[in-house]
Structure 1
Amino acid sequence: MKKVELGRTGQYVSQVSLGCMLMGTSTDEPTSKRILDAYLGAGGDFLDTANCYAWWAPDATGGESETLLGRLLKGRRDRVFLATKVSAGITDLPAARAARHPDGTVDWAGVERTFEGAGAAVIEREVELSLRRLGTDHIDLYYVHVDDRSVPLEETLSALDGLVRAGKVRYIGWSNVRTWRLERIRSLALANDWAAPVAVQVQHSYLRPTGADVPSIAGAELLDWLSLHPDVSLAAYSSLLRGIYDDAAYRESTPVWRSYAGPDSDARLAAVAKVASALGASGNQVALAWLVHHGVIPLIGPRTWEHYESIAPAFTLELPEELLSVLDNA
């Protein structure tokens, strides 16, 4: 797997990141180890988790993913670039669970009311807990998981900078954030000589959203901003939109599709199918390769070994110019 520079840090990471959200809950330990071993064996090194993963799973409270990764990385911590997050830990688990409905929809306002937030005290407490669970003395990339407008940015940034200066965190990032806020965050950090974000993590895929503008999905404004700020990399979660590029029946039934359904997506899905057929690849593999080609660092979050195995060929899938043009011009 090729390596790409993270922002303008001089730090190179694998061009596809392994999302470890489900490890320790939906994905059991033997399967998690098998996936991690295969990813590292393929040249991957960029691991992504969070202190709240995966509180929504049965009998889980959050922290399960970090705890399992801590066990799986013993003796090989130096082989990985490790990212985790703060601010979306759950303070009221029953209320958060009640906001997730059986039909797959989520009352996000209800969930967000239970978030721990990004105050200095939370950051300083939670980084220690994450370090302990992960079995490490430092975190390579520490994200603010959900932008917290109730806390002054100066407080959050100063606390994060303190962690960097103390050697507990190497780089910081932000997730699920509006473009104007990201600009403010970056400007404040640079003006005060604080650690500035080197990555932003939001949902982004080959399909373009047609639903309501939300801070968790990359829109045209954020993509334009990023094109002018190469010191901030785009790490894209839900890069395959839960696999809808290859499963039409699932596509129509999943809530994810509601943000993308329309003629534009129909045309782009047809382009993916055409390119996949020409290359003997799957639609998911083509969508992932397209993101990599355009300088995005996509996250994959396989729940099963079969999911991982079906995605892995995309790590080295090349898109010839004539087929890339089909995708770009759809």
Structure 2
Amino acid sequence: MDFGTRVDPDRAFAILDSFVAGGGVWLDTANCYSFWADLSGTGGASERLIGAWLRARPGMRDAVRIATKVRQNRLVPHSWPESAEGLSARAVRVGVEESLERPGVDHVDLLWAHAKDRTVPPEETVGAFGELVTKEVALRVGPANHAAWRVERARSLAREQGVEPWTALQLRHSLVQSRPLTPVAEAGHRMLTAEDLDLARSEGLSVWSYSSVMWGSYVRADKPLPETYDHPGTARVLAVLEEVAGELSVTPNQVVLAWLMRQGIDPFVGASRMEQIEQALAARRARLSDEHLARFAEAR
């Protein structure tokens, strides 16, 4: 997210190199990353940096898959959400054209609708995404931060139009859960629910999670969990987390990532330092048993 803004090119290149060397494949970005940290007031820095890295590493495009998002980029610098691009057919086409130009690629492997857009008929958005797949500009499409009913509605419309449906979901999810019915502080975030998982498993959709290690809150005392996570269930889960991490001789972050993967969820990790990406990749070696999963479920 912060490549090209808070994370300078040399450090970002090193992180990307380490990621690929460790067997990593997917790079997830967005056309709006990171307008809030860019003096220009607009997004695009992350996509441009990925492009610079690809140009500096001939042949690397064949080794990685790139996912990006449209919907949230500012059309007017320093004006959001008023100038967010939206999900009209024109906005989607223009957004994707720019998201190909910045990294210098001819297609993306997965295109996300970053958030809902109630000002545009869903038929229009679905048709625009389907057209991109037909043209092989995007190989797959999916929604981020959409309610399950919206996802199923879009998939139904895609079937009616004869275009490629959404086949992946991206939502916020982690081991600890916020208090029910309390909004999160981060604008635009939507939590994964049991209904989302039910839909995904019933329809064969892949599920991708973000903010899974809670910005370091599991391992750093200087990064406390947000207030909405302050409830008895969190304390119980964190106690089990420490026990399991000790039993497996891994970090709490690695347990959280392994817990997600054990459920068939693909977690994203936003790394800003080399050791973060190395530890995240090592989470693939953490083996959680059914008994571990049961202990976490009971603690909640």
The 1:218–1:321 alpha-carbon spacing in structure 2 relative to 1, beyond 3 Å, is closer
Give aligned-pair identity as a percent. Answer: 37
For 1:153, which of 113, 117, 122 is the aligned residue?
122
Given that residues 19 and 278 in structure 2 are in contact (C-alpha distance below 8 angstroms), is that contact kept between their aligned partners in structure 1?
A: no
Deviates further, 216-225 or 132-141: 216-225
Tell me how far 1:212 sits from its aligned partner.
2.8
CA RMSD of aligned residues (A): 1.7
* Stretches of 4+ aligned residues off by more than 6 angstroms: none
Once the two structures are superposed, residues 228-258 of structure 1 have per-residue CA deviations (whole angstroms, 9 ceiling, x without a partner) of 222x111101011111112244215xxxx23
TM-score normalized with structure 2 length? 0.91
In the alignment, is residue 94 of structure 1 matched against residue 74 of structure 2? no
Counterparts of residues 289-328 of structure 1 (less than 5 Å):
289-328=258-297
1:113 partner amino acid: E
Structure with higher RCO (Cα < 8 A, 6+ apart): 1
Tell me how far 1:277 sits from its aligned partner.
1.1
**Which has a greater percent of strand?**
1
Q: Which runs of 5+ in 2 are unaligned?
A: 184-188
2:130 partner amino acid: D
1:223 corresponding residue in structure 2:
197
Tell me how far 1:95 sits from its aligned partner.
3.3
Tell me how far 1:211 sits from its aligned partner.
4.4
Once the two structures are superposed, residues 259-317 of structure 1 have per-residue CA deviations (whole angstroms, 9 ceiling, x without a partner) of 32211111111111110111121111110110011100000001122332343321322
Q: Which runs of 5+ in 1 are unaligned?
A: 1-20, 97-111
2:250 corresponding residue in structure 1:
281
Given that residues 213 and 219 in structure 1 are in contact (C-alpha distance below 8 angstroms), is that contact kept between their aligned partners in structure 2?
A: no
Partner Cα separation in structure 2 for residue 309 and residue 180 of structure 1: 37
2:186 corresponding residue in structure 1:
none
1:66 corresponding residue in structure 2:
47
2:215 partner amino acid: R
Deviates further, 166-175 or 307-316: 307-316
Tell me how far 1:185 sits from its aligned partner.
0.9
Q: Secondary structure at the match of 2:153?
A: helix
Aligned residues: 290
For 1:85, which of 46, 62, 69 is the aligned residue?
69
In the alignment, is residue 41 of structure 1 matched against residue 21 of structure 2? yes
Q: Secondary structure at the match of 1:303?
A: coil
